[in-house]
Structure 1
Amino acid sequence: MTTPLRERALASRDATAAIAALDTTSKRRLLHRMADELAASATHVLDANERDMDAAKANGTSAAMLDRLVLDAPRIAKIVVAIRDVATLPDPVGVVTRRETRPNDLVVERVRIPLGVIAMIYEARPNVTADAAALCLMAGNAVILRGGSDALHSNTAIAEALQRALMAEGLPEATITLIDDTRRETMVELLQLTDVVDLAIPRGGEGLIRFVTEHARVPVIKHYKGVCHLYVDRAADPSMALRLLVDGKTSRPGVCNALETLLVHRDAAAVFLPTAIARLRELGVEIRGDDATRALVPDVASATDDDYAAEFLDLVIAVRVVDDLEAAIAHIRRYGSDHTEVIATQDEAAADRFVHALRSAVVMVNASSRFSDGGELGLGSEIGISTTRLHAYGPMGAEALTVERFVVRGTGQVRHP
């Protein structure tokens, strides 16, 4: 028996033919119309978000999750701009990434094509509804959106605006499908539609991502958590390092590219740490440190191994004094999550060693961890950050929603004459 979810998923699969057939100009026009529709629906979206926020507050939702959920006029304007930014990106579909002529005169090309149907599973952040839809459509894919119950009203209002743009352009509404049944059983059913869904991308807390990974039969792009580090080298500029620390930890502590651990070279600790800890405390940050940190600032709470492995998503940071660069690298290899690492240093050799020794998806030299974001890295927007070494690694934009295939052009060649 065909379930309602399967029927909707099949409609999404059927819609891929229409979106994949669009040329670049048509896709750009569609995205700008989506942005226009969302901007015109701002009041309706804000009203819907207010309903979600009221329910979340009544349920005792944490401040970090409320920050992810809330929308206001500037945030909606930013979502609109992000859609328009995606419209300006190079179209990845049809790009020939490599061409060579074989000795038998076969011309072998590698060409980017859409993946097909993307299942986007996410919590809180209503902006993901628009970001994911825009990126999937730019890459010629249909998208099935399954947001959390906490943002259902917001997601619905945004999706309806985007679908109006689809219909105005003569495209199937099912090109963007929002699943409003937020039960876990429905999510599991979606994740097992191996003949329909080409890729699942979960975006949210570690619990959600592990649940998706454990129950999916379709390929999954994932990152479990963002345990991001700042290492302050002995050759760091202290004022620069402090700016990186404050921005990385306090600008938005509830996001995955926020700093969670501060590592400081022993030679820099006596000068840097007392000032840095005092500044963090002024901004409301709780400090948990090792014995060397507590020797410099005695009233710091003692850090545990669990603290160094934690994604706090809050105004909390773990601090450790390390003997040298190699000790910092060893710490990150042990406790890191392959998300984003930062070094503050004026020593190019130390920076190069840090970059080459770590395999994290993003490595920053003298730049805030908060730049680990598709929009900031030139992708226009991002559908997520992959710490899984599959076809994509790091922030994923439109190109990461395509795959290379081989196109072979001949003049009648056969392998066995």
Structure 2
Amino acid sequence: MNDMSTDSTEMDVTAVVANLGRRAKEAAQKLALASAEQRNLALNEAAKELRARARAILAANATDLDSISDKDAAFIDRLTLTEDRVAAMADALESIAKQSDPLGRTLASFDRPNGLKIDRVSVPIGVIAMIYESRPNVGSDAGALCVKSGNAVILRGGSESLHSSRVIVACLAAGLKAAGLPEDAVQLVDTRDREAVKLLLHSTDTVDLVIPRGGRGLVSLVQKEARVPTLLHLDGNNHSYIHESADIENAVGIVQNAKMRRTGICGATECVVIDRKIAARMLPLLAASLGDCKLRGDAEAQVILPDIAAATDVDWDTEYLSNILSVKIVEDLSEAIAFVQAHSSGHTDAIMSDDMEAAKRFMSAIDSAVVMHNASTQFADGGEFGMGAEIGIATGKMHARGPVGAEQLTSFKYLVFGSGQQRV
């Protein structure tokens, strides 16, 4: 698994990761005691740094782009930073700073018959290891959300984005320093050695939670190797179902956006499911609206559009992250629900329908983190949910589910107030 072959190099990586963990743990203890004003100041100052160093970030990103080869367009899009995307990173930090403090909230309060008063209050998780691929802006979002929620974070981005990540993390560190907070609250694993990922997953003494954000290969590795608790963000094999009652024109526009706005993000629709009663009218209009998107359909879809490729069983379970869309024709709502339940990755699924009862039935039956009605699946995003940004979309059911913002990066503890009570 190690990219390097010597034992000495392997030991160096072990030492590096252990050192990051120790420093992060110390920083987390200080950050947990920092005021909301300090944490917000750190984010606002980091936003200023991102804007001030925009040219340096773009130059570093150009170096990253120059170093890759044999990557598809969707991967390159995820890796690429532009002036607008750097500005959006800074805007996200300021948006997060404006949000209510997720720490110290009284989640529940109750009095016991013996006079004890018990409060359940929100607290930081501690040290979070964020392992992600290709998209360098994820490091900025994750760092900001962790600072807001009082957690230290160790960032391990994709090796392809290392130059970009270095400058971004330097901006976050500058913001922390300006606010009088420990710069070690946001650290980067500054190596391409893949052994570092395994070491983070084994860091039970220093890391409290691992969050992986990437493809199936990364998630499989985490599931196999992790000894630290994990918050999984699986792939986005998302469906848009067009019910027989849907407004055809409206549905075409929604699905076109859900697929083609950005094909390389986890919120993109990968499969469109269409009721048989409207398929002959719907499918040609949809195909025309999708432009250069390559369609792969079942036998019925191929009868309607003879030029499209045949879908295989593999297609129904594939997150393309590209301009490819599979098409499934179904008899009715019941068959649509059964198909989506069988093939969805549990990320985001949607129904287009003017029948509210059908929409409610679909939304109740589909067991995904996000289920939408008459809206593009690309709205499955923390920023669009008012969180400022997200650390990812959690597809599991424990601790957090759906877009994970600052509030979802907290735990809780109980504060018990007595007046001399002794248990019998």
TM-score tier (shorter): over 0.9
Provide the C-alpha distance between the structure 1 equivalents of 2:242 and 2:423, rounded to a whole number of angstroms.
59
Counterpart in the other structure of 1:241: 251
Counterpart in the other structure of 1:71: 81
The letter of the residue matching 1:415 is R
Counterpart in the other structure of 1:55: 67
Describe the SS at the equivalent of 1:305: coil
Asked whether the equivalents of residues 146 and 182 of structure 1 are also in contact (C-alpha less than 8 Å), the reply is no
- Structure 1 portions without partners, runs of 5+: none
The letter of the residue matching 1:330 is A
Is the aligned partner of 1:6 residue 2:18? Answer: yes
Asked whether the equivalents of residues 191 and 218 of structure 1 are also in contact (C-alpha less than 8 Å), the reply is yes
Match of residue 112, structure 2, among 95, 102, 105: 102
Provide the C-alpha distance between the structure 1 equivalents of 2:35 and 2:223, rounded to a whole number of angstroms.
34
The letter of the residue matching 1:11 is R
Describe the SS at the equivalent of 1:187: helix
Q: Which deviates further from its counterpart, 179-188 or 80-89?
A: 179-188
Provide the C-alpha distance between the structure 1 equivalents of 2:75 and 2:309, rounded to a whole number of angstroms.
25
Provide the C-alpha distance between the structure 2 equivalents of 1:131 and 1:51, rounded to a whole number of angstroms.
22
In the TM superposition, what are the counterparts of 1:310-321 in structure 2 within 5 Å? 310-321=318-329
Is the aligned partner of 1:212 residue 2:235? Answer: no
Match of residue 18, structure 1, among 26, 30, 39: 30
Match of residue 379, structure 1, among 365, 387, 395: 387
Describe the SS at the equivalent of 2:233: coil
Provide the C-alpha distance between the structure 2 equivalents of 1:55 and 1:315, rounded to a whole number of angstroms.
24
The letter of the residue matching 2:389 is S
Runs of 4+ in structure 1 deviating by more than 4 angstroms, as ranges, are none
Counterpart in the other structure of 1:395: 403
Deviation of 1:125 (Å) = 0.6
Counterpart in the other structure of 2:41: 29
- Structure 2 portions without partners, runs of 5+: 1-10
Provide the C-alpha distance between the structure 1 equivalents of 2:251 and 2:115, rounded to a whole number of angstroms.
57
Provide the C-alpha distance between the structure 2 equivalents of 1:400 and 1:65, rounded to a whole number of angstroms.
28
Is the aligned partner of 1:266 residue 2:276? Answer: yes
Asked whether the equivalents of residues 210 and 224 of structure 1 are also in contact (C-alpha less than 8 Å), the reply is no
Provide the C-alpha distance between the structure 2 equivalents of 1:353 and 1:242, rounded to a whole number of angstroms.
22
Asked whether the equivalents of residues 173 and 183 of structure 2 are also in contact (C-alpha less than 8 Å), the reply is yes
Q: Percent identity?
A: 43
Counterpart in the other structure of 1:355: 363
1:56-108 per-position Cα deviation (integer Å, ceiling 9, x unaligned): 2xx21111110000011111000000000100111110001111112222212
CA RMSD of aligned residues (A): 1.1
Describe the SS at the equivalent of 1:124: coil
Deviation of 1:415 (Å) = 2.2
Q: Which deviates further from its counterpart, 143-152 or 15-24?
A: 15-24
Provide the C-alpha distance between the structure 2 equivalents of 1:386 and 1:156, rounded to a whole number of angstroms.
26
Counterpart in the other structure of 1:294: 302
Deviation of 1:406 (Å) = 1.6
Counterpart in the other structure of 1:172: 182
TM-score (norm 2): 0.95
Asked whether the equivalents of residues 234 and 394 of structure 2 are also in contact (C-alpha less than 8 Å), the reply is no
Describe the SS at the equivalent of 2:227: coil
TM-score (norm 1): 0.97
Deviation of 1:320 (Å) = 0.8
Match of residue 367, structure 1, among 370, 375, 384: 375
